[in-house]
Amino acid sequence: MLYNSTQNAAEAVSAAQAIAQGISKDGGLFVPQQFPKYDEAALRALLKEDYRGRAKKVFSDFLTDFTAEEIDECVEKAYTAQKFGGEDPAPMAYTKLGDTDLNILELWHGPTCAFKDMALQILPHLLTKSLKKTYDGKDAVILVATSGDTGKAALEGFKDVEHTKIIVFYPVDGVSPMQKHQMNTQEGENVTVCAIKGNFDDAQTGVKKIFTTPSISEKLAENDMLFSSANSINWGRLLPQIVYYISAYCDMVNDGKIAFGDKINVVVPTGNFGNILASYYAAQMGLPIAKFICASNANNVLTDFINTGVYDKNREFYTTMSPSMDILVSSNLERLLYKLSGDSDETTRAWMTSLKTEGRYEVSEDVKAQMQERFFGGFCDDEQTQDTIRRLFEQEGYLCDTHTAVAVNVYEQYVKATGDATPSVIASTASPYKFSKSVLQAVVPGQALPETEFEMVDMLNALTKMPVPAPLASLKDKKARFSDVTEVEAMPQYVLAALGIE
Ligand SMILES: *Cc1c(COP(=O)(O)O)cnc(C)c1O
């Protein structure tokens, strides 16, 4: 299977090349030329498999330049019971809110307690194998822009991985104290962490710019290095996310929640549009998904886009209590637009150019109609987010984080607006302990809170009896290793200095 660039259909590369490179030279994103189709028999066969078995099947159908042994090794190393706190890395939890059933896909049992682990525990293995196939002997430099969770998950995945170096940039005021502490205490010889004076979009734009500056790439090449990406623009990030939607469907059949062949909806708290796009790709493969419910916080650029066909990032940026969704430029939307425009690189390029120069674009009536047929967009503010956390905890004893609460709230709005009773899978993207302060404020409104993050973790634990994930508990006594802060304009120099090749 080959991969094309969304901005140049003449570019056609292997999976290994797509993963090693991260982004196409023309600035486009790599997409598979076609999707493997799973008929009834193929899907039924997966019912009997565990998560790793399902993952191996999906990976082997996309990574046709990898051997079965290579894929086995990647999957077995990534999804261990030790790293994911149990045999099933992505378990379902079934609860309800009022009359609405909630089928919650818990994606946060990995080492950094956010769903990014599902992809970032396996990406380093895929990447080192891809490098060997394409650029043997070179070191990959992983540049990451993070709104909080990707950074830590990437650091944890890449720490001390041979032939890789990783540099993470995060918005200085845009991540939670726990997220900051998680990153600044990161161990590993090959890791660097730096804050930038700007928001997530500034960090992402800065990283993209470094990627596409020829003089910087040449400098790396002279030193036997090349850039790669661990952001969800990398195909190796998206592919692992397809697996858990297929796996959730199988689990729901096995658990008697749906009959085989029934349609489901998915509800995804969305930022960069990677997670929800993976569910769309699963549907392209034959997974019976009816609706994709795209949940946003106050940064509701996607809600507006789905409703109007106009993407406009010229608007106020809000810092919310669901910081991993504080994004105005959702990179992976580009891949959906490419698909909906009939794989038109020309059309996609025009829209992306308009986004760069004008900060907005408007899709055609046809693309808008296709999008509205399958996607529902909704959003909620911080107050509604906390209200949802509180109701779910008080009524059902189920504690969720702020991002998941946005999804639950938007799902309630969707059910109210449409009356659609299709069973729905809600992606739960982080442990509530990653956002203890906001979750506490929701559960015990008005009550005085302790000063430090870890006292709040303890308080939340005392109140809810929900176990604190071991990786967060063990951070308490760790000292920060990193404290650099840089201007956005200085990011290129910072990278070269960190690599020792100024
Ligand atoms: C990254 C993240 C999201 C957003 O996912 P996208 O794939 O970027 O849309 C939502 N919730 C949490 C907790 C995250 O870390």
Q: Does residue 202 have a pLDDT over 90?
A: yes
- To the nearest whole number, what is the mean pLDDT of the chain? 96
Strands 100-106 and 424-428, by their bridges, are parallel
Each residue's pLDDT tens digit, 440-464: 999 999 999 999 999 999 999 999 9
Contact 7, 31 (CB under 8 A): no
The number of the ligand 1 atom at minimal distance from the alpha carbon of 429 is: 13
User: What is the value of pTM for the model shown?
Assistant: 0.94
Tell me how far apart the alpha carbons of residues 23 and 21 are, in angstroms, rounded to a whole number: 6
The alpha carbon dihedral of 390, 396, 401, 406 has a sign of negative
Tens digits of residue pLDDT in 54-79: 999 999 999 999 999 999 999 999 99
Strand partners, 376: 293
**Residue 200, pLDDT score:** 87
Nearest Cα residue to atom 8 of ligand 1: 272
Percentage of residues in the chain having pLDDT higher than 70: 100
Q: How many residues does the chain have?
A: 502
Position 231 scores a pLDDT of: 84
pLDDT in tens, 256-295: 999 999 999 999 999 999 999 999 999 999 999 999 999 9
Element (H, E) at 342: none
User: Is 31's pLDDT higher than 90?
Assistant: yes
In this structure, the number of other CB atoms found within 10 A of the CB of residue 416 comes to 9
Query: Distance between CA atoms of 492 and 496, rounded to whole angstroms?
Result: 6
Atom of ligand 1 nearest to the CA of 269: 10
pLDDT at residue 476, as a whole number? 87
pLDDT single digits (tens) 207-245: 989 988 999 999 999 999 999 888 888 999 999 999 999
Whether 274 and 237 have beta carbons less than 8 Å apart is answered as yes
**Cα–ligand 1 centroid distance for 269 (angstroms):** 7
Residue 326 backbone phi and psi in degrees, to 5: -85, 80
Ligand 1 centroid–CA 232 distance in Å is 10
pLDDT band at 495 (very low <50, low <70, confident <90, very high): very high
- Angle 277-157-17 from CA coordinates, rounded to 5°: 60
Q: What is the pLDDT, as a whole number, of residue 436?
A: 94
The atom number, within ligand 1, closest to the CA of 430 reads 13
Query: Measured in angstroms, how far is the CA atom of residue 362 from the centroid of ligand 1?
Result: 25
Q: What is the pLDDT of residue 178?
A: 87
Burial of 152 (0-12, 13-18, 19+ CB in 10 A): buried
pLDDT band of 147, cuts 50, 70, 90: confident
Instruction: State which of 112, 275, 328, 435 you would mutate to test the pocket of ligand 1, scoring each by most atoms of that ligand within 8 A of its C-beta.
Output: 275
Neighbouring-strand partners of residue 167: 143, 192
Query: Which residues lie with the beta carbon below 6 Å from any ligand 1 atom?
Result: 114, 116, 149, 232, 269-275, 324-325, 403, 429-430
What amino acid occupies position 196? I
Alpha-carbon gap, residue 385 to 443, rounded angstroms: 11
Residues 387-408 have pLDDT tens digits of 999 999 999 999 999 999 999 9
What domains are there in the chain, each with its CATH number? Answer: 78-110+236-431 (3.40.50.1100), 436-473 (no CATH)
Residue 10 Cα to ligand 1 middle (Å): 31
Instruction: Say what the pLDDT of residue 267 is.
Output: 98
Q: DSSP code of 330?
A: -
CA 413 to chain centre: 23
- Using the predicted structure, report yes or no on whether residue 135 has a pLDDT greater than 90: no
**Above 90 in pLDDT, residue 186?**
yes
Q: What is the pLDDT of residue 325?
A: 94
Q: How far is the CA of 431 from the centre of ligand 1 (A)?
A: 12
Answer yes or no: is pLDDT of 136 > 90: no
Query: Would the pLDDT of 124 be above 90?
Result: yes
Q: In this predicted structure, what is the pLDDT of residue 247?
A: 98
CA 430 to chain centre: 11
Residue bearing tokens 């038109």: 344
pLDDT at 477: 87
Residue 160: what pLDDT? Answer: 92
DSSP 132-183: HHHSTTPEEEEEEE-SSHHHHHHHHHHTT-TTEEEEEEEETTSS-HHHHHHH
Place of tokens 């490098």: 131
Helix, strand, or coil (residue 319): coil
CA of 218 to the centre of ligand 1 (A): 33
Indicate the top mutation candidate among 105, 241, 272 to test ligand 1's pocket, ranked by most ligand atoms within 8 A of CB: 272
Q: Which of 320, 325, 375, 439 is the best mutation target for the ligand 1 pocket, counting ligand atoms within 8 Å of the beta carbon and taking the most?
A: 325
pLDDT tens across 301-315, in order?
A: 999 999 999 999 999
Q: What is the predicted pLDDT for the residue at 295?
A: 98
